[in-house]
Structure 1
Amino acid sequence: MPDNRLIVKMLGGFSLLYAGKELILDRSSVSKTTQLLQMVLLHQEDGIAKTSLIDGLYGREDVENRNGSLNNTLFRLRRQLKAAGLPESNYINIQKGMCRWDPEIPVEIDCCRFEEKVLAGQREEETEKKMEFYREACGLYAGEFLPDMIGEDWVTVRNIHYRNLYFSCLEELCGWLKEKEEFEEIYQLTTQASAIYPFEEWQIWRIDSLIAMARYQEAMEIYQTTTRLFFDELSLPPSPQMLERFRFMSERISQSAGAIEDIKQGLIEREMVKGAYFCTFPSFVDIYHIISRMMERNGTSVYIMLCTLRNSKGPVLGEDERNREVSGMLMDAIRESLRRGDFYTRYNVGQYLVMLSGINQENCSKVSARIGGAFRRRMRRNEFQVDFYVASVAEISPDIPETGRSFSGSADIWDKG
């Protein structure tokens, strides 16, 4: 027998299901008709005032006849619901300025069920039952509330509300599971949370649960992935809490002869990418220190090149989408223009550092010309360009005998320092 409820998903995305069939209302998931339906469904119990609907739909827009616009949107929505396959109905009833969903078509909404489970858990006094409610709530939380519409004020308010409920019940549930030493369940719950919120504290919960189960290698992999993500996306180094766990794991990962195969596998470069080797900024600093020490012994000439993106307003700042796109073009240009033995890293969205070894001043200018040419081929327009500054490692590290003069430059113009 088909399920004649309207099943509505709003956590992690938006979808409608009726009688086992997905309903498609509009080609756009953020249309006015879709938003109107969402707001009415979320207030199916008590209804929602027309004035609130008007504010939610047209609050930021310069609409001359807002009431008329709402009536037109309501007319289109009714027509779309009928065409999508819902039973014949008025769908939305209006009485005394209040809009209510037709109770003859029962509705189940995931975010409402989620909130009901959390609130039931908060009211429950018996711990076991409380935690079971929280388990069910966490299972229902499939992602942020209507993520495609997060810029709408009414969506943002609800999103923060649901996120806070989720964090609260998950933290309490994990604390209880920790006391019961149910570390595998903690790991599963926080892995789900980390997929939705990769920059929150759930990564540490994952690492701690694996450490408690003596699964140090898996914990180390999460540490490395997380710290790389934080640096690449936010330009942030590992937190003190993360470093504390890194030291703990490092002490416990087996270094015995029996683990030599694991060690060898861990040293293999996973992707044989042509061109220079990309590393995180902390790794670049470590390599710099190693190269500096080697120079003391063998006198190899090494230069550090700073590549800075610039547009008509000056150096590129801020992590907006266009800046990230152009930064990726510069990254590709650097990689293909350098040798496999060279290293480079991203310092921020608008700057990259390159380490060039066994090279002289004249060849540094050739390298910058290659990078600039490769970048221009990708850009096709001249809205961005790259400035170059080069200094010898001997100049940067005063303890190393200087083997050559430093020089700096902008674009393809090089001047002796």
Structure 2
Amino acid sequence: MCITSLKVNMLGGLSIRSGDVEINDGDNRSRKVWLLLAYMIYCRKRPITQEELVRLLWDDADSVTNPANALKTMFHRVRTTLDRLGDSAGHVLIVRQGGSYAWNCKVPLTLDVEAFDELCQSASDATRPKDRLERCLKALELYGGDFLEHFSSDPWVVPVAAYYHNVYLQVTHEVLPMLEEADRREEAALLCRQAIQLDPYCEELYWHLMRNLLDLERQKEAIVVYEEVTQLLYDNFGVNPSDELRALYREAMSSVSDLPLPLQEIQERLTEIDPDRGAMVCQFDFFRTLYQMESRLVARSGDAVHIALISVQGENNEPLPKRSLNRAMKNLLDQIRYSLRRGDVVAPCSVSQYIMMLPQANYENSCMVCQRILLSFARRYPHSPAKLHYSVQPLIPLM
């Protein structure tokens, strides 16, 4: 079979197609073969020296007894892989030029990253908003994933992947408002979900996704999105979603049901089911609401309410490894919950801290409660590397 043209994709996995035949980098046993092949194609407009290729394939070139021979063996494997596209394809596509290797540019080749660049530039040059939008969408369609995602840790791949990843996100953030203005909500929501797969910590993408789901009257999906991002941000950064996301969440919750409900049913929904003994455990967002409510009450009643913070650290105030910290925080929550009264409230406020609200407790009693928790934890987990610290302050009344 004669190779007349090739279609190569590098956004996502590496694949090479000739006619109806396609080969790809799904074979992990041939990692260096596909890495070399990707490099030859990406740098196909120039010859590549043996020294450069040895540095590419072997981190410590000195560990290779005979680099030239090792490279010949690797190219034999590369050519054998390319031969699956057609008879002698490997020798046609990779040629020697003196002491260097080169890709045969006489065989027509289309590369998705180059097409992506061209579409982005074409969109930038467009004068009509409609043309700009459609060209941007075509560019985003080409983006099947980050550049050579199976080789994301290789030094030469890292900056290239970062460049295309940033361009993809820039185009996405440009396109979303345009789709929304055109009332193409389904497309906008789908684009958000695709972009979140590549940038899972971008709150702006979640905002657009929730906004579009709400406009499509899919409130329950928007609520699920909020709950997922809340857990994701807390697990990884110990932070809560932005005020903008919380506002969308409240909008979703307020419109989740169109039917009026009788007071008895609403009260049943509000009633805590199978409450645990001990303190009430909630998320920080809800804790803040309770705090604000209590501060209003204290301003009128003058009752004593204190806020206590317990922090988890390692020796010499160093942070604990993530696994040890997660275990310590889980164990600490159990001790806090069952050391407090049912009228007390506790919430995580960072990856290494719990905040507690202690109604009708003065400063001395609040300190005694914290000391009891620390002592209980030390007795229950004597070999834990966690070191606990606490601080207590009065709740500030709303003036």
Q: Same fold (TM over 0.5)?
A: yes
Match of 2:139, as an amino acid?
A
Q: Is residue 324 from structure 1 mapped to residue 322 from structure 2 by the alignment?
A: yes
Separation in 1, partners of 2:234, 2:36:
40
Counterpart of 2:321 in 1: which secondary structure?
Answer: helix
| Pair 1:83–1:181, CA change in 2 (3 A) | closer
Counterpart of 2:229 in 1: which secondary structure?
Answer: helix
**Alignment match, 1:190:** 192
Match of 1:310, as an amino acid?
G
Query: Of the candidates 284, 306, 312, which is equivalent to residue 308 of structure 1?
Result: 312
Q: Deviation at 1:79? A: 2.4
Separation in 2, partners of 1:266, 1:75:
70
| Pair 1:263–1:228, CA change in 2 (3 A) | farther
**Alignment match, 2:29:** 27
Q: Deviation at 1:334? A: 2.1
Q: Residues 187-215 of structure 1: CA distance to partner in whole angstroms, max 9, x if unpaired?
A: 21122112221333322322333344455
Separation in 1, partners of 2:174, 2:396:
54
| Pair 1:329–1:252, CA change in 2 (3 A) | closer
| TM alignment of 1:292-307, pairs within 5 A | 304-307=308-311
Counterpart of 1:94 in 2: which secondary structure?
Answer: strand
Query: Of the candidates 215, 224, 229, which is equivalent to residue 226 of structure 1?
Result: 229
Q: Is residue 284 from structure 1 mapped to residue 287 from structure 2 by the alignment?
A: yes
Query: Of the candidates 146, 168, 171, which is equivalent to residue 169 of structure 1?
Result: 171
Structure 1 residue ranges without an equivalent (≥5) = 317-321, 401-417
Separation in 2, partners of 1:178, 1:131:
12
With the length of structure 1 as denominator, give the TM-score of the two structures: 0.67
Contact 1:40 1:47 in 2 (8 A): no
Contact 1:7 1:109 in 2 (8 A): yes
Counterpart of 1:258 in 2: which secondary structure?
Answer: coil
Contact 2:94 2:102 in 1 (8 A): yes
Contact 2:14 2:38 in 1 (8 A): no
**Alignment match, 1:76:** 74
Contact 2:281 2:337 in 1 (8 A): no
Task: Compare relative contact order (CA 8 Å, sep 6+) and give the higher one, 1 or 2.
Answer: 2
Identity %: 21
Match of 2:326, as an amino acid?
G
**Alignment match, 2:210:** 207
Q: Residues 210-265 of structure 1: CA distance to partner in whole angstroms, max 9, x if unpaired?
A: 34445555445544543554454334454465466567x37973787526799789
Q: Provide the aligned C-alpha RMSD in A.
A: 5.0
| Pair 1:273–1:162, CA change in 2 (3 A) | farther
Contact 1:230 1:238 in 2 (8 A): yes
**Alignment match, 2:101:** 99
| Pair 1:28–1:326, CA change in 2 (3 A) | farther
Q: Deviation at 1:115? A: 3.6
| TM alignment of 1:329-368, pairs within 5 A | 329-339=327-337, 341=342, 343-354=345-356, 365-368=371-374
**Alignment match, 1:412:** none
Match of 2:350, as an amino acid?
N
Contact 2:137 2:175 in 1 (8 A): yes
| Pair 1:255–1:125, CA change in 2 (3 A) | closer
Match of 1:386, as an amino acid?
K
| Pair 1:339–1:278, CA change in 2 (3 A) | closer
| Pair 1:286–1:121, CA change in 2 (3 A) | closer
Q: Deviation at 1:131? A: 3.8
Structure 2 residue ranges without an equivalent (≥5) = none
| Pair 1:300–1:396, CA change in 2 (3 A) | closer
| Pair 1:364–1:34, CA change in 2 (3 A) | same
| Pair 1:357–1:27, CA change in 2 (3 A) | farther
Separation in 2, partners of 1:148, 1:270:
47
Counterpart of 1:11 in 2: which secondary structure?
Answer: coil
| TM alignment of 1:35-184, pairs within 5 A | 35-44=35-44, 46-50=45-49, 53=53, 56=56, 63-64=61-62, 69=67, 72-73=70-71, 75-79=73-77, 82=80, 86=84, 88=88, 89-90=90-91, 92-96=94-98, 98-101=100-103, 110-122=112-124, 130-147=132-149, 149-184=151-186
Contact 2:36 2:57 in 1 (8 A): yes
